[in-house]
Structure 1
Amino acid sequence: MKEIRLKGKTIVITGASSGAGRAAAVEFAQHQPNLVLASRNIDALDEVAEECREFGADVLTVETDVTDPKAVIALANTANDWRNRIDVWINNAGVLAAGDFDSTPMEVHEQVIKTNLLGYMNGAHAVMPFFKSQHYGTIINNISVGGFTAVPYGAGYSASKFGLTGFSEALRGELTKWPHIHVCDLYPAFLDTPGIQHAGNYTGKQLRPAPPVYDPKRLAEAMVNVADDPRTSTYIGSTSLLLKVSHALFPELTTKLTGSIMRRYFKGAAPISPTSGNLFNTVKYGMAPYGGFGIPGKPKAHRKYIAAGLATGLVAGLCLTLFRK
């Protein structure tokens, strides 16, 4: 097994109070770095910090709203002042809102983009002066499959994630003369986290992630590996690569099929009142790494979903090719 060399390094994780961010904090803690954990929920952060300290990690918690550029600058300054260095910055804080585009308030779309896209840009903008001063550093962007596959009924979310992919590519182009500063993108498939419980929901229906749903620990392990050995793009879960290939070969068909599947789900889903979830304020529920939707620790159980999806995509693509002739 490859040795992970993160002991004593300073690692900043945004959105660390629940879900993938919390799973990542615990995974990193086992390698005893200096962890700076940030989110809007300081009480939940303090709970995560205590768990991480049990593994021997030094931990600092900083209440931070990533949509506020000044707050993110303060986070970077605090992290650097604490150990006089920042080795890894993980942009992870994210939100979701679902609903017909025109039925979802524009302030909701705006907040999703401010958090998911501008929040990541705020993080990179705040940490980059430190990286350039010390001539090294790694930014890890947790983007998701939404970075290349559109999510119907999540237009603001799709705009933010597609934007992140472009932002990362542009930033890497600027940094070619800084060979030891890395911008790394992660594309996990659907994760068993509380994120969908926290979502703004204007569909009128209860939301569930589409199977297969993966253990967030797999994303956390990928973050650790990329922090230790930076690489440009990492796909977590076979579904992620399947969707990447499907969209690359049949973009229009993939989007139409996705929309059709979601409409079919809405027909049978339980009704729910509209909610803004955690978009504008933190919440006190769902602070665990897991959301209770998946089958954590059993990756082989996903194969039936992956095989079915692959077969459906190939048949649909073949039919589309034949009909075009």
Structure 2
Amino acid sequence: MANTVLITGASQGTGKATALLFARHGYDVILAARQPERLEQVAAAVRAEGRQALAVPTDTSDVQRVEMLIQTALDRFGRVDVLVNNAGFYLSGLMQYTPLDDWHRVMDTNFWGYVHTIQGLLPQFLARGSGSIVNVISFGGATPVPEMIAFCASKYAVTGLTDTLRLELAPKGIQVCAVHPGVINSNFLERAIFRGQDAAQVEERRKQLQALVQAPWVSRPEDIADAIWSAVRSGKSEVIVGQPLTATKALQVAV
């Protein structure tokens, strides 16, 4: 029986790159994301690598949808060996311009989405005494950055979740790893939210970030996928990808 990996945020960017990399290493793949058409395209690409793929459209902020995802995965494959929590979105804005709805939305996806998948899969990990949980976090989960208060808060929460969960689960044979990318050159800007004093300020911030992701030092989705695979293969507890310090300074200058 092949090993299986469940990846959230799997329809594009880091999630897609990770799915293809694990497939090349012999894993069957469960794909979760909100966009069914893109998800099916990734599933087709996984199958082209000779592995099984199960695409389950899922909003990870909805615990009932996550429960359905996990039950569907277990019904199909019997077990999940690796969980890669990758779903999330970027929100930029000073606190005074960030409404409570935005706070709830970013926390529901970037933090609670991770809790939902972990809580759902943990019983079968504990029953087997094995498994890997990889939380893709961010440099924003270790370093405060101006105009990223809600995003950083959500990522700091995941860092605390990951570090504490590692202490709980290591004695039980379950790996918990934090992967911290810097800035990624991917299509995450499609869903990014920008808040500001007026439309001109919002547009300026968006253009600054669009220019920043083109910098030569910025990571690619494939770089993050390599880090995730390396972490699972070697049992690492933390991996830093790219140049987070450079990313932090660049974002601070851009503010």
Are residues 1:223 and 2:217 paired?
no
Indicate conservation of the 8 Å contact 2:70/2:120, yes or no: yes
Indicate conservation of the 8 Å contact 1:98/1:201, yes or no: yes
Task: Give 1:129's aligned amino acid.
Answer: P
Partner of 2:199: none
Structure 1 CA distance, aligned partners of 2:67 and 2:235? 24
Q: Deviations over 1:13-50 (max 9, x none)?
A: 00001111111112222123110000111111001111
Structure 2 CA distance, aligned partners of 1:73 and 1:177? 26
Q: Deviations over 1:191-239 (max 9, x none)?
A: 11111232012242224253431111011111122222221001111x1
1:13/1:259 CA distance change after superposition, 3 Å = closer
Partner of 2:30: 36
1:135/1:260 CA distance change after superposition, 3 Å = closer
TM-score (norm 1): 0.71
Structure 1 CA distance, aligned partners of 2:14 and 2:127? 30
Instruction: List structure 1 runs of 4+ shifted beyond 4 angstroms.
Output: 257-260
Which of the two has higher C-alpha Rg? 1
Are residues 1:189 and 2:194 paired?
no
Task: Give 1:223's aligned amino acid.
Answer: I
Question: Among the aligned pairs, what percent are the same residue?
Answer: 33
Partner of 1:25: 19
Structure 1 CA distance, aligned partners of 2:186 and 2:145? 18
Indicate conservation of the 8 Å contact 1:147/1:158, yes or no: yes
Aligned residue among 261, 286, 300 for 2:253: 261
Other structure's SS at 1:49 match: helix
After superposition, the CA RMSD in angstroms is: 1.8
Q: Tell me the matched-pair count.
A: 243
Structure 1 CA distance, aligned partners of 2:54 and 2:176? 24
Task: Give 1:261's aligned amino acid.
Answer: V
Shift of 1:69: 1.2
Structure 2 CA distance, aligned partners of 1:165 and 1:243? 20
Indicate conservation of the 8 Å contact 1:69/1:122, yes or no: yes
TM-score (norm 2): 0.89
Structure 1 unaligned blocks of 5 or more: 1-6, 245-253, 264-325
Indicate conservation of the 8 Å contact 1:40/1:63, yes or no: yes
Structure 1 CA distance, aligned partners of 2:21 and 2:59? 23
Structure 2 CA distance, aligned partners of 1:133 and 1:71? 23
Indicate conservation of the 8 Å contact 2:231/2:238, yes or no: no
Indicate conservation of the 8 Å contact 2:31/2:56, yes or no: yes
Task: Give 2:219's aligned amino acid.
Answer: Y
